[in-house]
Amino acid sequence: MSTNMMYTAIAGLNTFNDALGVVSDNIANSNTTGFKSNTVDFGDLVAGLMTTDSVNTTTEGVGSQIIGTTSDFTNGNEIQTSVWSNLMIEGNGFFCVQNSAAENFYTRDGSFEVDSKGFLTDMQGNYVLGYPISSTGAVSTTAGQIQTWNTATTAPYASYNIDQFGVLTGTDTSGNVTKIAQLEVDTFNNPNGLIRDGANKYTPGTSAGSPITGTAGTGQAGKIISGALEGSNVDLTEQMVDLITYQADYQANSKSISTGSTLLQTVLSLIQG
């Protein structure tokens, strides 16, 4: 019995060690732009049958395990920057960015900038996708990389603006306004099926479903705030409570191992005596 106690406690140690890792990750990303807090989902471990009375049996518990983590996709705090290319989605949705290999990623981090060729990119140089707008005002149905000006034929506009629907406009020195593109904003039926890819990006896992492509303010997609970034939604007070709780649980399982070891020593002493 003491051996079973020790193995059960080891399972508990592994569980709460992983849980502490999730909490530590949340705390470490409390200032990460667009970061979403994660919570741990616990499950029990069972083994063989054990008798509950003269007739019935049930499975014997042998500890706990982490069966998954759940992300909280509620909005983080709005952080004003006054930089037109810094964007925040108020509500559901993700910006879509594309690397040089034409692979798409999804992000809540709107820390965008314009590169030397006029393309709107994220901080890692991935291209922000959107729908080009023609000189007649027609919005393309095919998304592509957004170029804020044609470096081969024109110069940058005097100023830029992005409205709540993600429409990017440029204003020249004479005050003429030109619509350039409308940013793509995608949603997912199950955001918790997204897989963290690092650098504030996600890729869709099997359970996320295919991205529902669209624009801000349509369907389930939220609207865009220009000149602002979305802060992390980590609640440090809540994380500290979880940290204390999981640490206490870890110590309790350690005590179970110590108790099991004492019982084993007692049994050995009786046998040897």
Dist CA 18 CA 6 (whole Å): 18
**Contact (CB, 8 A) for 224 and 161:** no
What pTM does this model have? 0.89
Name the CA radius of gyration of the chain, rounded: 27
**Contact (CB, 8 A) for 165 and 216:** yes
Helix, strand or coil, per DSSP, at residue 2? helix
Q: Give residue-wise pLDDT tens across range 3-55.
A: 677 788 889 999 999 999 999 999 999 999 999 999 999 998 887 666 566 66
150 has pLDDT over 90? no
In percent, how much of the chain has pLDDT > 90? 78
Length of the chain measured in residues:
273
State residue 2's pLDDT score.
52
**Contact (CB, 8 A) for 38 and 49:** no
Residue in 225, 2, 201, 7 with CA at minimum distance from that of residue 104: 201
State residue 190's pLDDT score.
96
Dist CA 185 CA 106 (whole Å): 9
Are β-strands 159-162 and 86-90 bridged in parallel, bridged antiparallel, or unpaired? Answer: unpaired
**Contact (CB, 8 A) for 157 and 164:** no
Dist CA 250 CA 11 (whole Å): 10
Dist CA 89 CA 94 (whole Å): 8
Question: What does the mean pLDDT of the chain come to?
Answer: 92
Q: Give residue-wise pLDDT tens across range 220-265.
A: 999 999 999 999 999 999 999 999 999 999 999 988 888 877 777 7
Mean pLDDT of 103-120: 97
74 has pLDDT over 70? yes
Which residues touch 118 (CB under 8 Å, ≥6 apart)?
147, 148, 149, 150, 151, 156
Using 50, 70 and 90 to split pLDDT, how confident is the model at 145?
A: very high
Of residues 202 and 1, the one with the higher pLDDT is 202
The ranges assigned to domains in the chain are 2-73+234-272, 78-230
State residue 261's pLDDT score.
72
State residue 56's pLDDT score.
67
Mean pLDDT of 137-164: 94
State residue 244's pLDDT score.
97
Query: Could you count the other beta carbons within 10 Å of the beta carbon of residue 17?
Result: 13
- Cα 134 to the chain's mean position, in Å? 35
